[in-house]
Amino acid sequence: MTREHPSNPVVLDATARQVLQVFSEKSTALFAPEAPVPDMDNCPVRDVLARVGDKWSLLILVTLSQKPHRFSALQRQVGDISKRMLTQSLRMLERDGLVSRQVFPTKPPSVEYALTALGEAALVPVAALLDWAAGAHDDIRAARRRYDAEAG
């Protein structure tokens, strides 16, 4: 049974491979897979995933990267987020120190949300990710068509 994987045609350049290599070594530690009681609650990977892995958080962060927004402007901009989730996501982002919340005691009180320094810093790797996403989008859609074609 000669088994060959689709055998990576090596798309990555040397730098990329090195990044991955270093990362792979680190990730072993980050996951702590052999710890008797894997410290799930304190694992940075899990932790950031809980934030980034939230459908809305990233979208909010990206929106705020353009300029500070008020609550309802934010909702309009993101588009299909419900007030409930927007409130909830903003609270978590604020709690994590990625977003700041400032209330102006105007007649109908207005609230402005903005990125903190930490939030801006977070956007750097996020930007890289989305940048890759934009580039890989065609490949992904092609893969989907292929997959769907041979197994509808």
Partner DNA sequence: GGGGTATGGTCTCAAATGTAGACCGACTGC
Partner DNA sequence: GCAGTCGGTCTACATTTGAGACCATACCCC
Which of 20, 72, 82, 87 binds its own copies (CB under 8 A)? It is 20
Smallest Cα–Cα separation from 100: which of 132, 129, 64, 74? 64
Number of residues that bind DNA (CB under 7 A): 22
96 near DNA, judged by CB under 7 A: no
Asked if residues 112 and 90 have their Cβ atoms less than 8 Å apart, the reply is no
107 near its own copies, judged by CB under 8 A: no
129: Cβ–Cβ under 8 A, 6 or more apart, which residues?
Answer: none
81 near DNA, judged by CB under 7 A: yes
* Residues of span 66-85 touching its own copies by CB under 8 A: 66, 68, 77, 79-80
- What H or E segment, with its residue span, contains residue 114? strand 110-115
CB of 22 to DNA, least distance (A): 29
Asked if residues 64 and 119 have their Cβ atoms less than 8 Å apart, the reply is yes
Q: What angle do CA 16, 17, 22 make, to 5 degrees?
A: 100
CB of 83 to its own copies, least distance (A): 18
| Residue 105 interacts with, from its own copies, DNA, none (CB under 5-8 Å by kind) | its own copies
| Residue 123 interacts with, from its own copies, DNA, none (CB under 5-8 Å by kind) | its own copies
CB of 4 to DNA, least distance (A): 17
Burial (CB count <10 Å: 0-12, 13-18, 19+), residue 119:
buried
99 near DNA, judged by CB under 7 A: no
CB of 142 to DNA, least distance (A): 23
Which of 72, 82, 87, 125 binds its own copies (CB under 8 A)? It is 125
Rounded distance, CA 48 to CA 54, Å? 10
